[in-house]
Structure 1
Amino acid sequence: MTESSTLEDGAQYVTLGIDRDVFAVNVDKVREILDVRPVTRIPYAPSFMLGMIDVRGRSVPVIDLRTKLGLPAVEATEHTRIIVLDIETGERTLTMGILADRVFEVTSLDGKDIEAPPDVGIQWRSDYIQGIGRRADSFVIIFDLRNLFSSEEAALIIPASAPAPSHPEV
């Protein structure tokens, strides 16, 4: 693991479910956890960006974590939640929501029980993973939020000075 992704002993994590897998984000990055609410779509946004929600008077982009991870989108259920996160990307902090199939609990994971992402002999997007924790007989994949929402995702909104995308003639 790199120095920027050092894990602390006994750190607290919010565990969440996507499909059959359990993931975790550091509780210090979680602003709040919300029930699903209507999302306003944004034209020309990447497929994994659901749109924007209002959180206490602030516009917050929402990412479909399933789609971001290469899984098919599914309808929201009574367990689906939006986790609002503060993510440090370089010199600024972004507030983003991630749509998760369910949220389980806040739990602590000891650094000695957390391993680096596995080396599988081929190149794959393991930069999203800060570490792999163990809870009972299962694994918890700890997201590296900075890499999950790298600069390419941080540029989801077209700057005001950029030209508008061209539209095909109808």
Structure 2
Amino acid sequence: MNTMIPATKSLLTIAGSQNKEERQQYLTFMLSGEPYAISILSIKEILQYSQLTEVPRMPDFIRGVINLRGVVVPVIDLSARFGKQLTHVGRRNCIIIVEVAVGEEIQNVGVMVDVVNAVLEIPAHEIEPAPSFGSNIRADFIAGMGKINDKLVIILNIQHVLSMDDIEVLAGVASTSELVTVI
């Protein structure tokens, strides 16, 4: 059975807890009415949506940048990244700051979502592998399909969602923004 952990509990506390059963914790959230999840091991923090600084000539899914305690962090719209419409900005939107590997460095990237739901523990036996959609459709961004209360949630492989090409673009956005800030 899946265990719901209160959202007020520290993500670091949750990540540090040890279970004898092989379980992993996932942050669940909604995108365009569909449930998704990301392993909490990739998540640095969750922010309430605030004003972004738009950067000209970026792909639609890059919504802009934020200043996170003196560090410029690019923010992508996951819904737009998946080929859907841009996320409508409302009071429940959140930006999830994730850490992704770029070569030997770690890059912080914000991902904009409709709403954050909860942190859930999902036993390994309740996670199915990503389905095969055929040779012309990429599904490498799906780490698995988690079963939660007889419903499926798509567990994202955030490293693949933010592919190396995208990370290079995002890193360029952060560098350009830092130059603009200094000037």
TM tier, shorter chain?
0.7 to 0.9
1:63-85: CA deviation from partner (whole Å, max 9, x where unpaired): 01110011111321121100011
Aligned to 1:27: 40
- Counterpart of 2:85 in structure 1 is 72
Matched, 1:89 2:102: yes
Is 1:44–2:57 an aligned residue pair?
A: yes
Aligned-partner SS, 1:76: coil
Aligned to 1:146: 159
Give secondary structure in 1 for the equivalent of 2:75: strand
| Inter-partner Cα distance in structure 1 for 2:44 and 2:138 | 26
| One-letter code aligned to 1:137 | D
Match of 1:10 among 12, 23, 28: 23
* Residue 105 of structure 1, CA deviation: 0.4
Q: Measure, in 1, the Cα distance between the counterparts of 2:77 and 2:51.
A: 13
Contact 2:74 2:174 in 1 (8 A): no
TM-score (norm: length of structure 2): 0.78
Contact 1:89-1:150 within 8 A present in 2 as well: no
Task: Name 1:62's counterpart in structure 2.
Answer: 75
How far does residue 86 in structure 1 lie from its aligned partner after superposition?
A: 0.8
Change (3 A) 1:47 1:132: same
TM-score, structure 1 as length reference? 0.84
Alpha-carbon separation, structure 1, partners of 2:139 and 2:100: 18
Question: What CA distance in whole angstroms lies between the structure 2 residues aligned with 1:80 and 1:100?
Answer: 6
Using the TM superposition, give the Cα deviation of residue 56 of structure 1 relative to its aligned residue in structure 2, in angstroms.
1.2
- Which residue among 130, 134, 147 is the counterpart of 2:143? 130
Equivalents in 2 of 1:142, 1:35: separation in Å? 22
Name which of structure 1's ranges 85-94 and 108-117 shifts more when overlaid on structure 2.
85-94
Does structure 2 conserve the Cα–Cα contact (< 8 Å) formed by 1:129 and 1:143?
Answer: yes
Unaligned runs of 5+ in 1: 1-7, 161-170
Higher helix share: 2
1:125 Cα deviation from its structure 2 partner: 2.1
How many angstroms apart in 1 are the aligned matches of 2:160 and 2:103? Answer: 11
1:30, 1:83 within 8 Å by CA — same for their partners in 2? yes
Alpha-carbon deviations, 1:36-71, whole Å to 9, x = none?
111111122111101100111111000011100111
Per mean C-alpha deviation after superposition, the further-off stretch among 22-31 and 83-92 is 83-92
C-alpha distance in 2 between matches for 1:63 and 1:114: 27
What is the number of residues matched between the two proteins? Answer: 153
